[in-house]
Amino acid sequence: MSTKPATTSVAGYRRNDRGTQPDLLYPPYASTVKRAPSHPLVLLPASLSEVTGPVFGFDVLKANDHDLTKQHAGDPIGERIVVSGRVLDANGRPVINTLVEVWQANAAGRYPHQRDQHNAPTDPNFTGAGRTQTDSEGRYRFVTIRPGEYPWRNHYNAWRPAHIHFSLFGPAFSTRLVTQMYFPGDPLLDYDPMVTSIPDERARRRLVSVFDWETTIPEQALGYRFDIILRGRDETPMENYLPARS
Ligand SMILES: [Fe+2]
């Protein structure tokens, strides 16, 4: 009989395939030069503290948290869209009842934050933050406004592609994911160093949503599908970092 404590025999997670996550040092993305680790990362063995974790906060969800167009007295300016998808684990199984949070710029490409001084209008009817939980099949759904592109000062004439930020905790600390969803056909994708810092082309494409007739609502809103995979071979890439206006 083994005398090993249980915490030393925990099944870990598969390491990421090379090139499927952003390079931590990627000089075209200027701020990585200052913040990237200068020493090789230390890989720690999995223990209970990585493969288990607290489950966050469904009790604080409110009725319109998933509908960013209904959080104020009036309708926000912009094109209504539906963003939905499934959250899956490394083996393709649904991650159920898990918290999904989003935040984004308004239709003009402006965040309602004092550090965002982009010369574009704010929208009193749009905060740009939402949350929901997945259902029993791992599905989530948001109604929102298509976010605008916005400039950032990474390099001359730098513009971020339209994007929605996502944050998920999943069932454990090791499944924590912060990432960004993009829109199909956006011409800025090929010029965005946050996207191109991911070497693997297939991994980059996992961040681009798919136009979806199934969730498009006649006379109301276009639908985009964005499936999110926590860990494994097809894992959704993690964001490199969270700068003030990313
Ligand atoms: Fe952003």
Ranges of residues in the chain whose predicted pLDDT is under 50: 1-4, 6-7, 242-246
- Which among 185, 213, 223, 179 has a CA at the least distance from the CA of 87? 179
pTM: 0.90
Distance CA 244, CA 116 (A): 8
| Cβ–Cβ < 8 Å for 180, 168 | no
| Cβ–Cβ < 8 Å for 198, 204 | yes
Ligand 1 center from residue 178 Cα (angstroms): 12
Segment 122-144, tens digit of pLDDT: 999 999 999 999 999 999 999 99
The confidence score (pLDDT) of residue 9 equals 60
The confidence score (pLDDT) of residue 58 equals 62
Domain ranges of the chain: 30-236
State whether CATH 2.60.130.10 applies to domain 30-236: yes
The confidence score (pLDDT) of residue 8 equals 52
The confidence score (pLDDT) of residue 125 equals 98
Of the residues 66, 86, 110, 160, only one is catalytic, namely 160
Distance CA 198, CA 16 (A): 12
Token output for 203? 């991994």
13 carries an active-site annotation: no
| Residue 71, number of CB atoms within 10 A of its CB | 16
Distance CA 233, CA 26 (A): 23
The confidence score (pLDDT) of residue 10 equals 64
The confidence score (pLDDT) of residue 57 equals 62
| Residue 97, number of CB atoms within 10 A of its CB | 13
The confidence score (pLDDT) of residue 246 equals 32
Give the three-state DSSP class for 143: strand
The confidence score (pLDDT) of residue 203 equals 94
Of the residues 66, 131, 146, 163, only one is catalytic, namely 163
- Which among 118, 104, 106, 100 has a CA at the least distance from the CA of 79? 106
160 carries an active-site annotation: yes
Q: Kindly provide the b/e burial profile for residues 188-200, where b requires at least 16 CB atoms within 10 angstroms of the residue's own CB.
A: bbebbbbbbbbee
Ligand 1 center from residue 2 Cα (angstroms): 50
